[in-house]
Chains A and B, each alone.
Chain A
């Protein structure tokens, strides 16, 4: 078990507690955990997908405004996720699994984020966290079909979630200095995005 695989549940808990900002780090650590044992095509493909699904959505969200207005505090939610992780660990130990199920702990944290958070971006981050966990688990178990299905599910979640966010969330409008505003003619109004 590598240090990267131990760090992943912690980072997944950070996603549950603080939001999508920790997702790129989670993706990079997942990619490192996949590549630490070798560089087979399955591992390389899994690592590439993990990085793309972690960094792409965060870069995409830079164009939109923050939507934390609907979110309640929810300080107990990370502890709920932690409790479920401990339960999973105990169940796996009872079932005879010798290795710490880091990737499934990541999936559990992502599911808690999807179910307990109200903000759409947070739920999106939870689903992408699940994708990272299933990808890592599939790569570690050398199951190409699971890695392929996780990649497909990740693409579906990333693309359709991005489309929904594009249609729901307001865009970031860059502020211009007053001098630039005076220069622009009144008969060519600026576009303010398609927030509605």
Chain B
């Protein structure tokens, strides 16, 4: 192995290990310094993920790692999602809770690079178990924890059952699509987070499930892709129809996931990547903030807006009726389900976390199509 290849491999390995180091460091330092250290560790993690994207390990495929540029870019989004989670939270007194975003992001990154998707599912199950253990330690949380384990395990078993059936069959594709919809937490099929703290676990968890969905297409075949498109479309239309109900937030905050699943279904991986960026930086419990609402509703100039354009341009080649249904669903959802009209006018947020998120979203929306034109994807 040459020196450059060795350095690339070392960089990639360091990027995977770094969030675990961050978790250990955040646990070890005193409470007062933990937030500052967590910000530094997650920022260095972002730089490492970007470096791995720009300088990929040349022997990664031979070593059993997945070397797809979209997957590498997806791990960059997961790293920025971790940075944003750390930035927008104050000082957390519980050691395990404050290390949980680092651990769940690290396990999500590992799940994406596993050579076998089944192993990735196992790593996601381990992340779920650790998160549920951390969440359910206080009294009165046992039943909530059981709900999380039950739903996550149902998704895992469905995908595993599909993987055990012959590839490119209808039943295999349907089982895998149902499992992935549950794992991504797409409303109303698998919405299984209930608390604000759950975003520590489920933002990277659902992001990793989306990245795994791209790799499962080879096994699932046409039925898998069609089922993903239909589930995403149904979720978009339900978001639009639930616009007048008080519980519309639950549907609206998985809007980028629904569009990402449609993009995965029509093999528009770059569009799915842009929706994943919107999910990691504006999803979860941020649906009450103006800039996040703008992003979730695919308003320009964020990454989901560009993703929408890419999705619709590719969908018209896939199926005209479904493209029209998608356009109508997105427009109906945006006009009916956007929560509060007045807060959407504040594009540039006042807090540091929001500014970082908006900058990353705008830069991603500009750079990803540019990289696509230059042949990076």
Contacts and interface: CB of A to CB of B under 8 A. Distances in A.
Interface of A: 88, 91-92, 94-97, 101, 103-104, 107, 110-111, 114-115, 120, 123, 127, 130-131, 133-134, 137-138, 141, 143, 145-146, 148-150, 152-153, 156-157, 159-161, 163-164, 167-168
B70 to A, nearest CB: 23
B118 interface: yes
Given A130-B153, A149-B122, A152-B125, A160 B164 contact: no
B64 to A, nearest CB: 12
A143 B197 CA distance: 36
A157 B133 CA distance: 12
Contact of B142 (A130, A156, A167): A167
Query: Majority SS of interface residues in chain A?
Result: helix
A111 B154 contact: yes
B238 to A, nearest CB: 20
B116 interface: yes
14 contacts: A103-B164, A110-B157, A111-B157, A120-B146, A130-B157, A134-B161, A138-B164, A152-B126, A153-B153, A156-B126, A156-B149, A156-B153, A164-B136, A164-B142
B149 A148 contact: no
A147 B161 CA distance: 12
A95 B170 contact: yes
A91 B161 CA distance: 14
A23 to B, nearest CB: 16
A146 B133 contact: no
B165 A95 contact: yes
A57 B121 CA distance: 24
Contacts of B122: 145, 148-149, 152-153
A160 B143 CA distance: 11
A104 B164 contact: yes
Contacts of B142: 163-164, 167-168
B166 A153 contact: no
Contacts of B97: none
Nearest to A87: B171
B324 to A, nearest CB: 31
B132 interface: yes
| Interface pairs A-B: 7 shortest CB-CB | A149-B122, A95-B169, A91-B171, A167-B142, A156-B129, A164-B146, A164-B142
Nearest to B129: A156
Contacts of A114: 150, 154
A164 to B, nearest CB: 4
Interface in B280-326: none
B172 interface: yes
Contact of B118 (A120, A130, A149, A168): A149
Given A130-B153, A130-B154, A149-B125, 17 more contacts: A91-B169, A95-B170, A95-B172, A103-B164, A114-B150, A145-B116, A145-B118, A146-B118, A149-B119, A156-B129, A157-B149, A160-B129, A160-B132, A160-B145, A160-B146, A167-B142, A168-B142
A76 to B, nearest CB: 21
Contacts of B149: 156-157, 160-161, 164
A149 B164 CA distance: 12
B128 interface: yes
B368 interface: no
B158 interface: yes
Interface string B129-168: 1001100100000110110011001101110110111100
B141 to A, nearest CB: 9
A107 B164 CA distance: 12
A108 to B, nearest CB: 8
Contacts of A104: 161, 164-165
Q: Interface centre among B129, B143, B160, B169, by most A CB within 10 Å? A: B160
Contact of B171 (A95, A103, A163): A95
B175 to A, nearest CB: 9
Contacts of A148: 119, 122
A152 B107 CA distance: 15
Contacts of A149: 118-119, 121-122, 125, 156, 160
Nearest to A104: B161
B145 A164 contact: yes
